[in-house]
Structure formats: structure tokens, C-alpha cells
Structure 1
């Protein structure tokens, strides 16, 4: 996927981003996961519209076809602070809402999105990327580990607003 490009989402891209998030939430639900279940009910705890305004949401295109999206927070959200503790260094980016277009699962597109997120971290001279992942989702945990993310911690029985879940914390170091 050498001709892939990453661009910052604009407000006119909001519906595209919401569609990608909804499709991924539905895909997760079809696989038996409750992860992102709020999106299926129209809830947006990460306020993607405001994140787009802050220039923290990215779209990834391959041959002019939208293949996915992700968000990179430079400042911690309350969620990130709960998981990682307070960090005012602004030296890392927090990866959230990585989502693939319908039909892109199983095509290494997720790897491409992570590569593009790493590219943004390098360009912004950040020391790395942090993310959290539901501990029970073995597929996603293996996916992050296979993409150079190291598990650096866990949070048990976190109240995510829907239920209590365990989470794994991952870090990719920009070397």
C-alpha cells in the first residue's frame, strides 16, 4: 500500500468519520464484542466533532479510497488520565478510535493505519504512542503486539459507563 496517504479530517468529513466508527462498532458487535457499543446507540464519548476541530482526527486513503480513520490526542482526556496517570509533558500521543472501512478487515489495513499513526508521531517528534485495549479482545491485543506495541500495564474492573472491564495498556516507542 505504497500510495497510501494520511490527511487531517475536516469538519466536512464528520459524517465519513462517524460512518467508519459506526461500521467498526457494528463489526465488533457482530464478533461478539461489546467494545464501542455506545456508538451503536448514537453515543460519542470522545466527541469526534470537537476532536476534528482540534485537528486530532485523521483519515487514511489508499488509491483515493477511504480505508480508515484514527484519532491522536496530544493532551490527555479524563479517560487517559484514569489509565495512565496525569502526564503534563505532552511528549506522547494517545491513539483512540482506530476504525476501518467496511470490507477492509483482514487486508492488513489496520497495520497501515498504525503505520500512519506512527508517522504522525515521528513528524510531531513525540516519544511514542499510548493506547488502551479491552483485555478480553484477544484479536486486538495480538494485533497491537504484532505492530510493535508493548504491553506496559493493565487496569482491572474499570467502569467504562456501560460495564466493568479490564484493559491492557500499550506503548509504541519512537526510536
Structure 2
């Protein structure tokens, strides 16, 4: 496996002018997943979250990973629960958690250690008052579930066909 050094990449907060590029990338990844018969993110293909994605970018919660000028990956970190987070995790107002959403890597950059490097970057660069990073993914996406487990996330339950993972930071 070839590993790209994250030093060759730049992680920055996405700006509004990148909204369509990010949405297009997420749809490309969703289509790639569908072609691989992985039931993850199909709702993105129908523009199901375009407005939410744009709002997360506008609120400065979305990051992009660049190699030179190429968009390699994106992810969103929320310090307040979204409606989906409340559905999956329950009302979690007392916790100091960050919720990781839409971690996506361009298919030609997959399997190079970039996802692991992004998770490490998040842990090193988040606010110090954060206790947990929480996320969910489709429970039957075995490869993705194993990815999070191998990166120190603990499976803490299932809800509506989604694995709930958290990692203490």
C-alpha cells in the first residue's frame, strides 16, 4: 500500500465558492459507492443534502483537503448535533463531542493512508474541551466499519441500520 504523507496536502476550512465543487465530489463518491454495491450515501445522488452541505460550508464547519490545487477529500465537523445526530445519538446536550460527517476521499486517492491521516489531524487540531469524536456509518459497510475500528473508534451501538462509533480524545 502506498502512503501519501499528509505534509504533501493542505487542510483548510472550505469557503462558499467551493460549495458546488464539494457537492460534486460527494456525488462522485456516492456514485462510486453505488457502482461498488455499497449502500452508503445514495441520498446524495438525489441532491438530498445539498442545502445542508451548503449551510455547513457557510457556517465554516466543512474542511477540504488539497494536494496542490486538486480536491482530494472533504469532511465536516459539528460541535452541535444535527437533526440526524439527535436521531442516531439521542439528545446529547451535556456532552462535549464533535460529530464527524461526510468524510469523503476521491476514489483515486483511497487506500493511501489519507483517511487515517485526516482522523489524526482532526484529533490534533480540535478544541481542547472536546471529549469525544462521534460518527455513524451504514452498519453493513464492513470495510468502512473496520476502517473506523482500526483507527481507534469504539463501536458503541446500532440505530436504524447505522453503526455508532466514538473515540475519546
**What is the TM-score of this pair, normalised by structure 2?**
0.88
Q: SS state of the match for residue 26, structure 1?
A: helix
1:72 aligns with 2:67: no
Please state how far the C-alpha of 1:149 moved relative to its aligned partner: 0.7
Q: Tell me if structure 2 keeps the 8 A contact 1:67–1:109.
A: no
In structure 1, the residue matched to 2:146 is 142
In structure 1, the residue matched to 2:164 is 169
> Which one has more relative contact order, counting CA pairs under 8 Å at least 6 apart?
2
Give unmatched runs, 5+ long, in structure 2.
none
**CA root-mean-square deviation:** 1.8
Count of equivalent residues: 164
More helix by share: 2
1:32 counterpart (30, 33, 37) = 37
**What is the TM-score of this pair, normalised by structure 1?**
0.86
Give unmatched runs, 5+ long, in structure 1.
159-165
Please state how far the C-alpha of 1:112 moved relative to its aligned partner: 2.1
Q: Tell me if structure 1 keeps the 8 A contact 2:10–2:66.
A: yes
Where do 4+ consecutive residues of structure 1 move more than 6 Å? none
Residues 8-157 of structure 1: pairs in structure 2 closer than 5 A: 8-44=13-49, 47-89=52-94, 91-121=96-126, 123-155=127-159
Alpha-carbon separation, structure 2, partners of 1:147 and 1:81: 24
Alpha-carbon separation, structure 2, partners of 1:64 and 1:10: 14
